[in-house]
Structures are given as C-alpha cells and as structure tokens.
Structure 1
Amino acid sequence: MSEYRANIAAGRAGALVTEAALAGAGRSAQQPAGRLAAGGARLPLRGLLVALATTLLGACSMIPVFERPAAPVPASFPQAQPSAAPAVAPPADTIAWRDYFADERLRNVIALALDNNRDLRVAALNIERARAQYGIQRADLFPSIAVNGGQNAQRVPGDLSMSGDSTVSRQYSANLGFASYELDFFGRVRSLEEQALQTYLGTEEARRSAQISLVAEVANAWLRLAADRERLALARGTQQTRQESLDLVRRSFELGAVSALDVHQAETLLQSARADAARFETVVAQDQNALAQLVGAGVPATLLPDGLEQAVATVAELPAGVPSEVLTRRPDIVQAERALLAANASIGAARAAFFPRITLTATAGTASSSLDGLFDGGSGAWSFVPQLRLPIFEAGRLQASLDLAEIQRDINVAQYEKAIQSAFREVADALAERATVTERIDARRKQLAATQNTLKLSDARYRGGVDSYLSLLDAQRSLYAAELELIGVRLIEATNRVELYKALGGGWQ
C-alpha cells in the first residue's frame, strides 16, 4: 500500500502544476463578446488542443499487469490413450459441428435449433446489450459536443431598479461546445472502458458456450429418441411374438398337452411386454417433445431417426490423446478469463480515483440582447472553465473501493480456476466412460448371443418334454432384457462421443 501512497503523493504534486497551468489558461475565461471576432478565441482553443494532446500522450494506466493463473489441473487427462496420429487429427474445438455429425437429418435438426432456440437467442441479445453498454462507456473517452441556444428574460420591479421603473432585460445566445469533459491523465476512464470491453467480449464467449451446450443437447436428445424408438420396436415385436406363443400354448392346453399353469405364465409374459410397449410409446412422445423444445419449433417427421443403429454411425470418433491445456480454449474458460480481465481493469479505475480529476467545459458562440442582433459583428462570445477535483478526505471510501476491486479480482481468479477444474472433470469423466464402453458393448453382444442360444435350447427341450415351460419363459425374459441392455450401452457409446466433443470445446463453429 505504500506504493499507492507514493503514487497518490506524486499525483497530487503533479496536479498542483496542472492546476496552475489551467488557471493561467482560464484567467480570461469570460471575455467580452467582441473579442471572438478579433481573434480572442484563439487562446482558449490553443490551450484546449494542448490539453487534449497532453491527455492522449501523457495518460497513464493504473491497471495491474495481468498474469493468467496457472491451471490447477494435471498436464494430461487420466485414462487418455495416446492418439495414433496426433499430428493429423485436428483438435475437437476446431471441428465444426457440421463436419462432426455425418447424418444430414441430425445436421438439419441442429440448424433448426440454432435458428429458433430461445436460450441461444437470449445469449445473442445479451451480446448486443453488452456491445451497447461498451459503446456508452467508450463515448466517455471523447467530449460530448452539442449546440445550445436559448433566451434569458428577467423583469426587475420598480422598487429594485435605479430608475424607479420596472425593466425587462433579455439575452439571446447560441453556443457550440462541451461540458465536463474529463482529461484522463491517470487512466480512470480508460480503465472503465477496458472493463466494459472485457465484459462485452465475455458475452460473446457466453454465446459460444451456449451454442456448444445446445448442439450437444440436441444431438443427445436425437440419439435418445433413436434409442427409445428402437426399444419401442423391440417391445412391440416381443409383444407380437409372445402373443403368438400364448395362442400356441392355449391350443396345446385345449388339446390337453400342457397345464393351465403354462397358459397363465405365457399370459404374464405377454402382459409384461404389452406394458413395456405402452411405456416406450410414452417415452418416445416425451423425447419428441423435448427435442421440439430444444429446437424451438416442430421437428418434421422426415428428420427424426429410425433407430439407434443408423444414428450411432453418424457420430464421429475423436482422438483421446489430448493435453489438458486445450481447456483454456473452451469458450466458458475464456469467458471466465474475460471476467478476470474486467475485474483487473476495475482495480485500475479504483486506483485512479486517488488522483486528481480534471474536467473541462468550453463553449463558443454568439450572444445579444436582441434576437435580430444575435449574429451581428461583435456578438461573439466564448467561455473556458477548467476544473480540478483533488480528493483530500473521503472517510476511507476510496481505499474501500480499491479493496473491493481487489477482492473481486481474487474471487474471479477462484472462479476461473474452478471453471478449469470443472472442465477437466468433464473431459476426464468422458474419457473414463470411453475407456470401458467398447468392452461393455462387446460383453453385451456376447451376452445377447448366449441368451439367443439358451432360448433355442430351452425351446427344443420344452418341445421334447425335457424341461418345463417355466425354463422357456426365463430364457425369453433373459433374451428381451439382454436386447434392451445392448440398446442402452450403444446409446451410452453414442452420447459419450457427443459429451467428449462438447467437453473439449467443440460445436461453437
């Protein structure tokens, strides 16, 4: 803090010199009207240009030197296998979503979502709002020049006038100039402008992050719909097969070949498949509603997936061997860094508040007691009013503002580090699932093949009278469950590719 105190003392000493110079320039601030036509306005105009040039050349910045915090994560992801061709495979954040998703139907659905999704629209409007706010803040770097014209009329009663008669005086004026323009010697206005700029740039990163999330959500919703449609088709096919089996058992019961227990067991199995079919019909309808909400409009039936088998092939494979430093390119990480830069700039504004503030007000125009004489020769008038504000006693307000800005900067540092840690975990979780999903799919496929063989053997043994119908029902249930589990793990594989693409920052372009 002693450094700040020394800067404050130096700034106050410099302010005294500046104040003396401004006082010399402003001694003739109110000149008679006739001086403008005779060239009297050149002195304040020259002084004004010198002051503005001094501002541009001598303004200093109080913003601390920015140093990006070190990423509090390992240099490589756990369970990430080295890529076979690391120099050839492009990073995920450089792959456009149209190139990553191969199915034309899915690409069209994503395009509809990008055009109609309300959350993404709000994110885009936030950019426009931040751009407007930045334009407002940036305008403070320049003087606000305006033309003013007016009339001043005053009546003096007779008992207050020297002549004893009431009088009415009028004054007309037309001026061009600016008021309260701050000479930014110590960078306060520029620090605020930098803060607004970083906030604006951060909203652009927020929109990109929202687009990444939207692309991933639409793709996952589309894949879930494909999987649930396949589950529905499986349930309906199983229901039809079990209905045929029940009819066969009933005919056998009528012939006395089986017992009533076999009929009831077959009926139980049929109703279970019927309930699953009804449940999956509801799930498919809900999936379509969720997809329509994400898209922001109705999705044509021609763009809906037929099944998961075709949908999985549309999601590209990503190399796993990537360093964790790629996370710094993720839009949400860049947004957190922009917020940190904005907080850093606010420290500069808080530091500059300790130093003097110099503002200028200048006008030039004409003035006359009559409207028709407003533009006659000798009616010129000008004014030049420099002002200096030097903080002496603020009851700790300025120091508290600086402390607040520094604390906010520290908060943003912690948020930036947390954003990196969260992104690292997302990638690590996706890689952890990816490391075992291939083995899970292989196990489920072999399990399905084994249950199919078990069903064939159970059916043959039942028809041969070796086993009871209960063994055949168990084999049918096991086959149906194995088929559902295979669909589920294939969906996990597809959504894992989408989640890894999202976690690595892909989908914003």
Structure 2
Amino acid sequence: MKNSSLTLLTLLSLTNLIACTPTRVGDQVAINSPAQWQHAPNAQVTEAVDLKTWWQGFNDPLLNELIDKALAANHDLKIATARVREANAMVTVAEAALYPSLDFSLSGGREKRIDRIVGVPSGQGIKLITPTADAVSGGLAARWEIDLFGGRHLEAEAAAAQAKGSKEGLHAAQVGLLAQVATNYLELRGVQQRTSILQENIALQRERLRTLQAFVKAGLANEADLARQQTLLQSTEATLPTLANAEQNLIHRLGVLLGEPPENLEHSFADADADAGPLPKQAPALPNLLPADLLAQRPDLRLAQTEVSVAAASLGSARADLYPKIVLSASGGLGALAVGGFPSLADSVYALGSGISAPIFNAGRIRAHIAAADARLDQVAANYEKTFLLTLEDVENAFVAHRSATDSFSRLTEAEASAEKAYRLVDALYSRGAGNYLAVLDAERSKLAVSDERAKAQTAVSVAMVSLYRAFGGGWRVDARES
C-alpha cells in the first residue's frame, strides 16, 4: 500500500512540474499605438462597416462574380490552404512526443547452424546431427520520455503557433487577392471608360475633318486649318493602341487571379468596350477603425505575433536541453523454439526499465543553441514592431491617396463642365462666322484632355478606396476563438 501511495505521489509531483514548464519564455511584445489617425477625414462614419465583404459596397455584380471565382480557384489561396494542412499535421507530430510510444513486433524463421550440434542415440552409439530450429517471437514494447522540464510541451506549442501562423498567411493571401482583383477590375473599367471617351472624340474629329474639307473646297477655310485638324485626329487615334494594350494586360491579369488561362476572360470582355458603363458610382463607406484595431485585423501583424510565440517556445525548449531527461520503458511478449525431433519450448518474457541522461560536456553546443534561439526571438520581436509601423504607414498613405484622388476628381469634374461649356460657346461663334476655327480645335483639345483626366481621377478614387480596405486588412473576419 505504501509503494502504491508513493508511486501516485511521485506521478502527481511530476505532473505538477511538467505543468509549470520552468523553461517557458514570455511572448508578449509591447506595441505603442497612436490614439488616432493623422490623415483620416475629420468626419468619420459611425456605422459599422463589414470588412469581410467590403467590395460589395461598390454594388457591382460583375465585380462580385469575379471575386467569388477568385476565392474558389486562385492558386495562391490553394497553396496557402495546403500549407495550413501541412502545419496542422506537424502539430500532431509534435504533440505525439508527449505520449508513450507502443510498438508491436513479430518475427519468426527457420535456421540450421553448424555451431548448434546435438547428440542423438542410435544403434551405433551417439550420433551428432545439426537439427533445424524453428523460432517465433512476438511482443509489445513501450517507451515514454517524461517531459519533466517542459521541452516537449514547448516544442508542441511552437508547432501550434506555426499552424496558427499558416492560417494568418492564408488570411493575408486572401486580403491581397481581393484587393488585386478589385484594383485590376476597376482599372479595367477606367480604361474602358477612357476608351469610350476617346472614341467619341475621334468620331467628332472625323466629322470635323470632313466638314473642314468641304469648307476648303468652297474657299471658306485654308489648308493650314485642314492640316491642323488632320494632325489632331491622328495624334488622338494614336492613343487607342496604348489603351487597348492596357486593357488586354488587365484582362490577362484578372484571368490569372481567377485561376484561368489569360485568354479565357477575353471572351467575357469581348464586348466590354461597347457595353461598359461608367465606373461604380457607389463606393464602400470609409472604415472606422483605430490604429490599435490593426493588431487584431491585419493578418500580417497576426502572423508576425505568431512568429514571436514560435521563437519564445523554441527558446524555452532549447533551455530544457540543459536539464536531465528521464525515460521509462517496458516490453513483454512470447517466444517459442522448436528443434526438429525435440519438444517445443515456449515462454513469456518481459523487461521493465528506466533511465536518466544529463549533459556534461558537449563543447558548448547546447548553450550556443540557446543563444541562437534567444537571438531569433529578438529578431522576430523587432520585426513585429517594424511590421506594425509599416501597417500604420500603409493606412496613412491610403488615407492621403484617397483624399488626394477625391479632391482631384472633384476639381476635374468642374473643369470638364467648364471645358464643355467653353467648347460649345466657341463652336457656336465659329458656326455663325464670328470665331476662329483654330479656337474650336483648341477648345476641343482641352475638352478631350480634361475628360480623360477626369476618368483617370475617378479610377484613382475607386482604387484608393480598395487600397484603404487592404491596408485595414479587409477581406476576412476575425474569429472570436482566434483573437
């Protein structure tokens, strides 16, 4: 009874020591977060914004369809998902070391050996023979390394943190993918809108050229005016190939993001120039998050934090190598030996054992390993702080870009209206013979330039909004169980 109580007490003591994990290292890094954004709009929205499905705020069915396809077929997401499965499997591998291992073995065979000679009575005395022996053995063997100082537990924690980091890598890939699809799509719509404006102006300039040719024949205009109009038309037409090239490149990029051959989407956008409407007039509301919220929302920050946890656990595991290791083992089984002509022998066997090992001299290998793990922890902690600063920069830059693009678009919209008014007034004067045709060409050129700049500014506003949501880590939802 005393032995049983002593054994139970010993096991409880070992359990308590293991639970304490005396070599554990803290993984908390102090992050100094500003209270507010420096360049955020003064009037922040108060309603909650769904960061997970932010692109739906553009109210563009085609954009929604493209993003659904990308989430289902993008190869970067498939790679990231496979990495998550791999990391989860490695957690099981690491945790298996915390438990005893149990192995089964079975062997058998027949042998005839010259060093095994048996004397057998015969009519002529004792006859020496080498009999054939049949041997069979089998049993179970168990081994358990008691994790007295928590080294194995910390290795399992490091593997679990790596698995968590792989999930954050998947989230980061998703955030980047959604931003790329939306950006390329909006830029494509912008190019198509600019192409539509350009084609409208080309048609108008051709009509002007035909009218001017008629005026020259009638003596109402000179060859210089005709040459100027031809020059303007040709220079305007020369812009079309550049826009067509940009359009094809954007379509090809979208195809790759959607996991399709680049040419597949060309059929979907074959009539895009004819059917393309304006860029989405509706846009998502500005995200209303504080700088400290990025620590939970940005996947790259969460990934950097898991790297700190991995390094801290690895350092604790390295320190555990300084302490003794205790191993318990047990084996048991059955064996049988049959030698031809003799009764078969069979018996059960078992073995119980324990062992302890402790480092005495290893030429500084263990302490060098600890020093390397400690340096690794310093690296990832500094990288965590740096990543947070980069995210702050990312958001502030996105706010500045959005404000700049919005201001430019507002002013260019007003300038386009003014240019249109000026063009109509100059054209009306020329039609009544009170104006100069060169002034008409100048007004037309100004209108074309301003309309093109307005379309580019409108595209920049939409793209800046996408950049802002990417900077806030939009595109996935924080699970309360993972926070």
* Residue matched to 2:210: 247
The 1-side partners of 2:470 and 2:106 are apart by 60
RMSD: 3.0
Say whether residues 1:80 and 2:29 are aligned partners.
no
Relative to 1, partners in 2 of residues 1:415 and 1:294: Cα closer, same or farther, differing over 3 Å? same
Relative to 1, partners in 2 of residues 1:243 and 1:332: Cα closer, same or farther, differing over 3 Å? same
The 1-side partners of 2:272 and 2:28 are apart by 45
Which stretches in structure 2 are left out of the alignment for 5+ residues?
120-127, 478-483
The question of whether the paired residues in 2 share the 8 Å contact of 1:123 and 1:210 is answered with yes
The correspondence for 1:402, drawn from 370, 376, 391, is 370
Alignment of 1:13-412 (within 5 A): 55-59=14-18, 60-84=20-44, 86=46, 89-90=47-48, 93=51, 95-97=52-54, 99-151=56-108, 157-158=114-115, 171-179=135-143, 181-297=144-260, 298-299=264-265, 301=268, 306-307=275-276, 309-313=278-282, 315-319=283-287, 322-329=289-296, 330-370=298-338, 379-412=347-380
The 2-side partners of 1:54 and 1:156 are apart by 53
The correspondence for 1:500, drawn from 457, 468, 481, is 468
Q: CA deviation at 1:458?
A: 2.4
Relative to 1, partners in 2 of residues 1:388 and 1:284: Cα closer, same or farther, differing over 3 Å? same
Which stretches in structure 1 are left out of the alignment for 5+ residues?
1-24, 26-42
TM-score, structure 1 normalization? 0.82
The 2-side partners of 1:65 and 1:92 are apart by 37
Q: SS at 1:75's partner residue?
A: coil
Relative to 1, partners in 2 of residues 1:198 and 1:120: Cα closer, same or farther, differing over 3 Å? same
Relative to 1, partners in 2 of residues 1:486 and 1:85: Cα closer, same or farther, differing over 3 Å? closer
Letter in 1 for 2:102: I
The correspondence for 1:455, drawn from 423, 432, 436, is 423
* Residue matched to 2:124: none
The 1-side partners of 2:338 and 2:130 are apart by 19
The 1-side partners of 2:21 and 2:163 are apart by 20
The 2-side partners of 1:365 and 1:359 are apart by 21
TM-score, structure 2 normalization? 0.86
The 2-side partners of 1:426 and 1:125 are apart by 29
Say whether residues 1:413 and 2:381 are aligned partners.
yes
Relative to 1, partners in 2 of residues 1:471 and 1:62: Cα closer, same or farther, differing over 3 Å? farther
More off after superposition, 226-235 vs 273-282: 273-282
- Identity percentage of aligned residues: 25
Q: CA deviation at 1:250?
A: 0.3
Q: CA deviation at 1:370?
A: 3.4
Deviations 1:63-120 (A, max 9, x none): 544353232552321112355553xx22554x43465442222111101001111111
Q: CA deviation at 1:275?
A: 1.5
Q: SS at 1:369's partner residue?
A: strand
More off after superposition, 119-128 vs 67-76: 67-76
Say whether residues 1:473 and 2:441 are aligned partners.
yes
Deviations 1:435-457 (A, max 9, x none): 33332222101111121122123
Letter in 1 for 2:294: L
Relative to 1, partners in 2 of residues 1:238 and 1:126: Cα closer, same or farther, differing over 3 Å? same
Relative to 1, partners in 2 of residues 1:99 and 1:452: Cα closer, same or farther, differing over 3 Å? closer
Q: SS at 1:191's partner residue?
A: helix
The 2-side partners of 1:169 and 1:389 are apart by 40
More off after superposition, 417-426 vs 457-466: 457-466
Q: CA deviation at 1:156?
A: 5.5
